[in-house]
Amino acid sequence: MLVTNGKFVWIIASYEPIMRKRVLVLARVSSSQHSHAHRANDSMRATSNALASTRTPVSSLTSVARARRRDAARSRPLHAVSEPSSLETFAGAWYGPDMQMRSGEWTIELSDDHIREIDAALALAQSRGHEIVELSPENFPLETLGPELEQMGRELIHGRGFALMRNFPVDRYTRWESCAAFCAMGRYMGYVVPQNKFGHVVGHVKNLGADPASPLTRLYTTNAAQPYHTDSADIVGLLCLSQALEGGHSQVTSSTAIWNELVKRSPRSAALLREPFVVSRKGEIPPGKEATYRIPIFHTTPDGRLCAIYDRSFIDSAKALVGATLSDEQTQALDDLDALACSDELRLDMTLQPGDIQWLHNHTTLHARSAFADRTNGEPRHLVRLWVTPDERVGAMQLPDIFAERLGTVAPGPSRGGIRVDGQVLCCPLDAR
């Protein structure tokens, strides 16, 4: 909730930490700071504005006509699902305004000693002629940073689900050095997996001029806004090489907090999001699989944790490619999810600067990006992306069996996650192609 006296904006947010007690956090920020922080994402704020800044039920924000259609649909046998009532108290159920005030807890500053370790490991890898896809803790030693990366991986999976690492020296590293060190750092948490049908283990998030309206386009190859989603791997890392002229801001939201708010505000939508939706593979089809598959948004893991898997653009792609349909109720449920994800009370905003690395656990967080404009002269916005499936060092999360539809297998190891097609050879291009 926002309260202003003209000079300051007071943010009142609630959250549920590990101690499972609800507390109120009161923070004061200048009104100019508040305005600046929220000008970045107008394209995604249109949905969040509909939600409003108060904790009103989501259902109250719909039109009378939409509400009547939803009430009528409840009598249909198609969605005979029970409405949930339980809230999740997992540590990853955080709220953006609170996390913003606790940035010191999730920001990791690479020290001079860390950088010297990386420099030495790069020199060793180059002297031995290692390819980037060959790098591992065994041939890329990071004596002090390595254990810290492992600890961060455990926090990603079993804690808040995100972290921001700063001071990676992209300004003096070659592209090979940046990609090699980034990939090797990910290997301290597990295995790097391919991000497209070409086998790229390091992806390039960059505007290549692709049509965002095409049902086959992966939005990271455009400058369009990317709505809230999860990637096809447990962990995603994003290293910023260069910023856009304007826009391209990152947003992160706890999917666990979204679930809790849905249960309180719109339990019907929460229930429907546990039912399957038709999802497209956008033409990147694993051997033996179909062009689409069916999977719910929210799940419970074998050990009782809530997790999520979501990308609305892939649901919309299924509609365009194979004529998959959504009921009014299903559409409303997705709208409710998106509105909460975008809302001021849940969302955490970040602006990645060159040398920043954002790490996210896809099963407990959603992430998004605002539209952006590149410079006409100079470097375009360019992020390097890594997908990681964790190993035993960081305690890979147990996953529901149905996740195999998207991740290939749910067993921890190098075969879990990524995009896999016949004839694929793992490689690491140094630029987008």
Q: What is the pLDDT of residue 163?
A: 98
Look at residue 27 and tell me if it is in a domain: no
Look at residue 14 and tell me if it is in a domain: no
Separation between Cα atoms, residue 380 and residue 13, nearest integer Å? 36
Spacing of C-alpha 271 from chain mean position: 22
Q: How many domains does the chain have?
A: 1
Task: Note the pLDDT tens digit of each residue in 181-226.
Answer: 999 999 999 999 999 999 999 999 999 999 998 988 998 999 999 9
Q: What is the pLDDT of residue 86?
A: 82
Look at residue 8 and tell me if it is in a domain: no
Angle CA 268–292–302, to nearest 5: 55
Separation between Cα atoms, residue 402 and residue 300, nearest integer Å? 11
Which phi and psi (to 5°) does residue 12 adopt?
-110, 120
Look at residue 168 and tell me if it is in a domain: yes
Span between the terminal Cα atoms of the chain, in Å:
45
Q: What is the pLDDT of residue 195?
A: 96
- The 3 state secondary structure assigned to 116-158 is HHHHHHHHHHHHCCCCHHHCCCCCCCCCCHHHHHHHHHHHHHH
Look at residue 89 and tell me if it is in a domain: yes
Task: Note the pLDDT tens digit of each residue in 362-411.
Answer: 999 999 999 999 998 889 999 999 999 999 999 999 999 999 999 999 99
Look at residue 54 and tell me if it is in a domain: yes
Q: What is the pLDDT of residue 89?
A: 83
Q: Backbone dihedral region of 189: left (phi > 0), alpha (psi from -120 to 50 degrees) or beta?
A: alpha
- CATH number of the domain enclosing 75: 3.60.130.10
One-letter amino acid at 238 equals L
Contact 115, 169 (CB under 8 A): yes
In this prediction, the residues of the chain whose per-residue pLDDT falls under 50 are 1-57, 59-80
Look at residue 202 and tell me if it is in a domain: yes
Look at residue 395 and tell me if it is in a domain: yes
Contacts with 402 (C-beta within 8 Å, 6 or more apart), sequence order: 295, 296, 299
The parent domain of residue 194 ranges over 40-433
Q: Where is 331: in which H helix or E strand?
A: helix 328-342
Separation between Cα atoms, residue 177 and residue 31, nearest integer Å? 42
